[in-house]
Copies of this chain bind each other. A is one copy, B any other.
Amino acid sequence: MAQTRRPYHHGDLRAALVDAGLEATRAGGPSDLILRDVARRVGVSANAAYRHFDDREALLAAVAAEILARVARGMAPAEPVNGTERTRALERLRSVGLGYIDFARREPGWFSVVFFGWRTGEAVATPPPGPFVALTDALDAMVAAGALNDAGRDGAEWLCWSAVHGFAELVLRGPLRDAPDDQVDRLAVRTVDAIIAGLDA
Q: Which of B125, B196, B197 contacts A175 (CB 8 A)?
A: B125
Grouping DSSP codes into helix (H, G, I), strand (E, B) and loop, the A interface class, with mixed when no group exceeds half, is helix
Q: Which residues does chain B contribute within 8 Å of A127, judged by CB atoms?
A: 174-175
The distance in angstroms between the C-alpha atoms of A173 and B152, with both chains bound, is 25
For A178, the closest partner residue in chain B by CB is B125
Interface residue tally on A, bucketed by range: 35 or more
For A177, the closest partner residue in chain B by CB is B125
How far apart are A60's CB and chain B's nearest CB, in angstroms?
14
For A117, the closest partner residue in chain B by CB is B173
The CB with the most chain B CB atoms within 10 A, among A164, A177, A194, is that of A194
Residues of A at the B interface (CB closer than 8 Å) are 28-29, 31, 115-116, 119, 124-127, 155, 158-159, 161-170, 173-178, 186-187, 190-191, 193-199, 201
